[in-house]
Amino acid sequence: MSLDVSPALLEKAARGEVDDAEFVACVRDSLPYAWEVITTVIADLEGAPDGFADHETPPPTEAERGQLLRALASDSIRGGLERHFGVKLAFQNCHRVGAFAPSQVDSKRYREFISVRGQLLNQSPELRDC
């Protein structure tokens, strides 16, 4: 299971009344390692003059890797985080998270980060099994 959803939040979802703040709080509480990585890279982005920051440290355990994968592989979770923080998130290699200011989404750096070439250049033998 990706998220620990309270009965109250599940009931709200069944009625169609969930807002982004409630959803993001559920993500924060359910995926603490992913939340830590994402909030750290976003804090780094706030001081970045070029509108880009990234996190490249592999997770210490498979459980933490799973949290990061669940957060960034889910369109709804990643979208909720992007709306909440006002950024564009990008993801490579089961652990590399990039955060971009919205103004940078069409930049050369963003296009390179999400490109096939960028993915291939970010590979290494020790990450093949991640």
**Alpha carbons 35 and 19: distance in angstroms, whole number:** 18
Which residue type does 13 have? A
What is the distance, to the nearest Å, from the Cα of residue 97 to the centroid of all Cα atoms in its chain?
A: 6
Instruction: Give tens-digit pLDDT for 2-54.
Output: 899 999 999 999 998 899 999 999 999 999 999 999 999 999 999 899 999 99
- Which pTM value belongs to this model? 0.87
Phi, psi of 50 (to 5 degrees): -100, 5
Tell me the mean pLDDT in the region 88-115: 88
Residue 3's alpha-carbon distances to 29, 54, 59, 67, 120, in angstroms, are: 8, 24, 19, 9, 31
